[in-house]
């Protein structure tokens, strides 16, 4: 779910609490459920003691900080310990005297003789950005360097009046801190009487389904989120007006090689004509134009169907990144239903930038380790009602999650199938994948859920971190040529079950040592903001000298199983479950590492996605009459799959977008130069 990405951003954009009280508590609320808290104790000598902890989906961080602030309100001494979301230890320190500073984390170690600005820990509480906010409010132009690198800028966005549970009223101001992530980093700061005696502290942060607000003020989430979304929507509207280019005349890709996803072969060069949002014609190269047209020179480039990311949890700014990465269709695998509906409506109307969104209906069982989003049910009858809701709102698939009871799977699957919906998801705890398939699963999400079929015992609770550590510790012992694996693959064949492996979601988990480059994002790391680049040096899983070798072998088992399933004809789809755009490109590289050809991997990310999503009649291939969902790539990804990052132009239903322009706006260095769309007169008299 997106919670882990929200918190990853907030670790780099945490906020301060009101300094006027000895201890201030903030409440973590996830999908209307109190899930944790943050406390900040103010001690003599400008010292703070911070504890930040929460639980969702069987996991969450435990952060313990000791902070000393200087006279300018910036961090002079910092130490953090604890556990990360996936169980790795957190250790980081920073100290500064004058302009001399040194720091050490599990990712890096460094020093500076000119340490100006605000130190940003890699894994922290939400208190950190409040410290940064106060410093930025005092700084000239509200700008300061970020330490160890980067540049921060603060911008006031809106004001609001809020009311406490005891009917106390106060004012708060919404700020955005630029320079820490690929999307706006919003934070609400106290600005009213009685709340600013020690400098502007934090009211909190709000996101759809996830909020952290000062205790006693939690009831303001909806009103604050409405204001914040209005600000966000205005920026997104401006993005759409700037970057969406629509043409009345035909658009012609001249002299271009093009990928036929049905046959997984490269064809051309040809001229591919687009008119009124559809592929109108494919003709020999340089065929004389019959009318005025807009021409794109495709010489030396490759035209592909728009990519499908079949495992996302959509957010508004992620949708923009998808287009920049050449992703024109996504399948949302679980979200806040009202929020997702709003995003879909805005994108479909052309108000926001984003891909086509095909939703899957999220259903989770109530319990101690439950995740949130969609519907959380207490029995089969509630599950049937949730399925009916999804069917009546145009969903074509449901996703069952970890806390669904095993005995519920068969009746829920039968009800979904009766309504014409496919069934997939995580394998519920205390159940094996083969049992879920026999009870009606049409699809399995995540390669670890497949691997667990060969590892779990009756009482293993895979709602916990066990679903990761059990795989890392033991997958290396699986005999991929043995009868157990053969029988399972035969079951998948017989039942025509699809696998959404999301390999990239596990690559760094099982391979990356602390401080080493993240293998999933190493190729794009030089292009992103410095704070994100540094955050990628940390692995939230606890890889150490003892388990690094076995886990690496377990990763090889996962790759081997992926290849065996492909060779057996099991339908695979490409999903990321991580940062939009970037991750899907890496997913394709991993498929090639597993032994598929680049063309086979591309077929999975295009034709297969369209088929499983139920939209192959209109998209997923370059053929006459299909929607003009197309991407123009520098180089030839059928030879070098890594060329897939070099998207020079994205077209969704005939509307043209420049990835270079979008990336630049979002603070990302482009991976390819843009291409010109030039107006040409008819060559026929």
Average pLDDT, the chain: 91
pLDDT attached to residue 309: 98
Residues in the chain: 685
What band does 263 get if pLDDT is binned at 50, 70 and 90?
A: very high
pLDDT of 673 > 70? The answer is: yes
Which residues pair with residue 531 across a beta bridge? none
Buried/exposed code over 607-637 (b: 16+ C-beta within 10 A; e: otherwise): bbbbbbbebbeebbbbeeebbbbbbbbbbbb
Q: Rounded to the nearest 5°, which phi and psi values hold at 600?
A: -65, -40
R_g (Cα) of the chain, nearest Å = 25
Q: What local confidence, expressed as pLDDT, does residue 7 receive? A: 45
C-alpha 270/C-alpha 186 separation (Å) is 47
Q: For residue 434, what are its two tokens? A: 């083969």
To the question of domain 307-359+446-614 being in CATH 3.90.320, the answer is no
Tell me how far the alpha carbon of residue 608 is from its chain's centroid: 21
What 8-state DSSP symbol labels residue 56?
B
Work out the percent of the chain whose per-residue pLDDT is above 90.
77
pLDDT digits (tens, 9 = 90+) for 408-463: 999 999 999 999 999 999 999 999 999 999 999 999 999 999 999 999 998 999 99
Is 90 exceeded by the pLDDT of residue 198? no
pLDDT, residue 683, reads: 54
Separation of alpha carbons 8 and 2, rounded Å: 10
* Residue 6: per-residue pLDDT: 45
Which pLDDT belongs to residue 680? 87
How much is the average pLDDT of 293-300? 95
Q: According to the model, what pLDDT value does residue 609 have?
A: 98
Instruction: Sketch the domain layout of the chain as residue ranges.
Output: 3-242, 247-304+619-685, 307-359+446-614
Per-residue pLDDT, 18: 35
> Which of 575, 578, 580 shows the shortest CA–CA distance to 609?
575
Is residue 21 pLDDT above 80, yes or no?
Answer: no
Tell whether the model's pLDDT for residue 305 goes beyond 90. Answer: yes
Q: What is the pLDDT of residue 191?
A: 86
Per-residue confidence band for 472, with pLDDT thresholds at 50, 70 and 90: very high
The secondary structure of residue 476, as a DSSP letter, is G
Structure-model confidence comparison of residues 664 and 372, the more confident one:
664
> Which pLDDT score is estimated for 368?
82
Is the predicted pLDDT of residue 467 greater than 70, yes or no? yes
Per-residue model confidence (pLDDT) at position 282: 98
Task: Count CA within 13 A, CB hemisphere, residue 57.
Answer: 18
Q: Is the pLDDT of residue 194 over 60?
A: no
Task: Give the confidence band of 131 by pLDDT, cuts at 50, 70, 90.
Answer: confident
pTM: predicted TM-score of the whole model, two decimal places: 0.91
Residue 128 above 90 pLDDT? no
Q: Which 8-state DSSP code applies to residue 513?
A: P
Residue 16 has pLDDT above 70, yes or no: no
Q: How far apart are CA 325 and CA 320, in angstroms?
A: 9
Q: Which two tokens stand for residue 608?
A: 């297969």
The rounded Cα 131 to chain-centroid distance in angstroms is 27
pLDDT at res. 308 = 98
* pLDDT (0 to 100) of residue 72: 78
pLDDT tens, position by position, 73-102: 889 999 999 999 888 899 999 999 999 999
pLDDT in tens, 600-628: 999 999 999 999 999 999 999 999 999 99
Q: Are 593 and 559 in contact (CB under 8 A)?
A: yes
**CA-angle at 181, arms to 178 and 183, nearest 5°:** 80
* 124 — pLDDT class (breaks 50, 70, 90): very high
Which of 319, 337, 343 minimizes the C-alpha distance to 329? 319
Residue 207 has pLDDT above 80, yes or no: yes
Nearest CA to 577 among 501, 518, 636? 501
Average pLDDT over residues 376-396: 97
- pLDDT of residue 264 exceeding 80, the answer is yes
The two structure tokens encoding residue 536: 């990628």
> Which range is most confident: 107-116, 200-209, 262-271?
262-271
Percent of the chain topping pLDDT 70: 95
Q: Is the pLDDT of residue 583 over 70?
A: yes
Nearest CA-CA partner of 674 in 641, 622, 634:
634
Q: Name which residue leads in pLDDT, 539 or 391.
A: 391
- Please identify which residue in the block is written with the tokens 């047209």: 293
pLDDT over threshold 50, residue 546 = yes
**Max alpha carbon distance in the chain (Å)?**
86
Contacts of 334 (CB under 8 A, 6+ apart): 1, 313, 360, 362, 371, 373, 374, 399, 401
Cβ proximity of 465 and 60 under 8 Å: no
Q: How far apart are CA 352 and CA 342, in angstroms?
A: 11
Superfamily of domain 247-304+619-685: Urease, subunit C, domain 1 (2.30.40.10)
Q: Is the pLDDT of residue 20 over 50?
A: no
Rounded mean pLDDT of 122-132? 87
Q: Is the pLDDT of residue 226 over 60?
A: yes
SS3 576: coil
Band of residue 685 on the pLDDT scale cut at 50, 70, 90: very low
- Whether the bond between 148 and the residue before it is cis, its omega within 30 degrees of 0, is yes
Strands 251-260 and 293-297: parallel
pLDDT for 164-178, tens place per residue?
A: 999 999 999 999 998
């Amino acid at each position: 779910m997106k919670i882990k990405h929200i918190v990853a951003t907030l670790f780099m954009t945490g906020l301060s609490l009101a300094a006027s009280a000895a201890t201030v508590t903030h409440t973590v609320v996830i999908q209307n459920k109190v899930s944790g808290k943050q406390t900040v104790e103010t001690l003599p000598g400008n010292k703070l003691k911070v504890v930040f902890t929460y639980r969702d989906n069987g996991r969450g961080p435990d952060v313990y900080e000791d902070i000393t602030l200087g006279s300018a309100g910036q961090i002079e001494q910092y130490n953090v310990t604890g556990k990360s979301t996936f169980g790795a230890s957190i250790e980081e320190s920073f100290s500064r005297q004058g302009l001399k500073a040194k720091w050490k984390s599990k990712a890096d170690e460094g020093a500076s003789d000119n340490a100006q600005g605000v130190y940003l820990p890699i894994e922290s509480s939400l208190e950190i950005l409040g410290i940064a906010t106060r410093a930025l409010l005092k700084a000239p132009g509200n700008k300061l360097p970020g330490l160890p690198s980067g540049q921060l800028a603060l911008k006031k966005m809106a004001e609001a009046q809020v009311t406490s549970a005891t009917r106390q009223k106060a004012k708060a101001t919404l700020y955005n801190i630029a320079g820490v992530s690929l999307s706006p980093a919003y934070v609400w700061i106290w600005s009213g009487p009685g709340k600013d005696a020690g400098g502007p502290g934090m009211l909190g942060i709000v996101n759809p389904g996830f909020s952290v607000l000062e205790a006693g003020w939690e009831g303001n989430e909806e009103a604050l989120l409405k204001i914040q979304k209005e600000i966000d929507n205005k920026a997104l509207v401006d993005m759409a007006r700037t970057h969406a280019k629509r043409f009345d005349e035909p658009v012609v890709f001249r002299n271009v090689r093009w990928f036929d996803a049905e046959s997984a072969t490269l064809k051309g060069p040809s001229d591919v004509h687009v008119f009124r949002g559809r592929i109108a014609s494919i003709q020999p190269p340089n065929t004389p134009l019959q009318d005025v047209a807009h021409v794109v020179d495709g010489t030396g480039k490759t035209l592909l169907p728009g990519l499908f990311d079949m495992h996302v949890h959509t957010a508004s700014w992620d949708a923009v990144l998808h287009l920049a990465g050449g992703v024109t269709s996504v399948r949302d695998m679980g979200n806040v239903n009202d929020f997702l509906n709003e995003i879909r409506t805005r994108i479909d109307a052309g108000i926001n930038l984003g891909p086509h969104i095909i939703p899957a209906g999220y259903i989770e069982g109530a319990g101690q380790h439950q995740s949130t989003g969609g519907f959380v049910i207490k029995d089969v009858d509630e599950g049937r009602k949730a399925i009916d809701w999804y069917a009546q709102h145009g969903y074509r698939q449901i996703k069952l999650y970890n806390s669904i009871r095993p005995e519920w799977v068969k009746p829920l699957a039968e009800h979904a199938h009766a309504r014409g919906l496919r069934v997939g998801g995580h394998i519920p705890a205390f159940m094996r994948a083969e049992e879920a398939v026999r009870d009606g699963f049409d699809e399995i999400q995540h390669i670890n859920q497949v691997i667990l079929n060969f590892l779990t015992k009756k009482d293993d609770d895979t709602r916990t971190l066990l679903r990761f550590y059990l795989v890392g510790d033991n997958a290396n012992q699986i005999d991929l040529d043995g009868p157990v694996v053969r029988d399972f693959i035969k079951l998948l064949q017989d039942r025509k079950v699809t696998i959404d492996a999301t390999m990239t979601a596990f690559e760094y988990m099982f391979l990356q040592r602390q401080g080493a480059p993240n293998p999933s994002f190493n190729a794009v790391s030089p292009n992103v903001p410095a704070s994100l680049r540094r955050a990628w040096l940390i692995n939230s899983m606890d890889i150490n000298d003892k388990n690094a070798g076995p886990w690496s072998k377990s990763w090889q088992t996962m790759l081997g199983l992926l290849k065996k399933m492909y060779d057996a004809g099991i339908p695979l789809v490409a999903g990321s479950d991580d940062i939009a755009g970037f991750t899907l490109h890496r997913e394709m590289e991993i498929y090639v590492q597993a032994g598929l050809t680049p063309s086979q991997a591309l077929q999975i990310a295009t034709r297969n996605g369209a088929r499983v999503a139920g939209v192959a009649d209109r998209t997923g291939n370059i053929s006459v009459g299909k929607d003009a969902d197309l991407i123009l790539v520098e180089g030839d990804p059928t030879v070098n799959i890594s060329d897939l990052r070099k998207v020079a132009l994205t077209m969704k239903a005939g509307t043209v977008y420049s990835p270079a322009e979008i990336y630049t706006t979002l603070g990302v260095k482009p991976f390819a130069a843009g291409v010109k769309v030039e107006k040409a007169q008819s060559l026929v008299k």
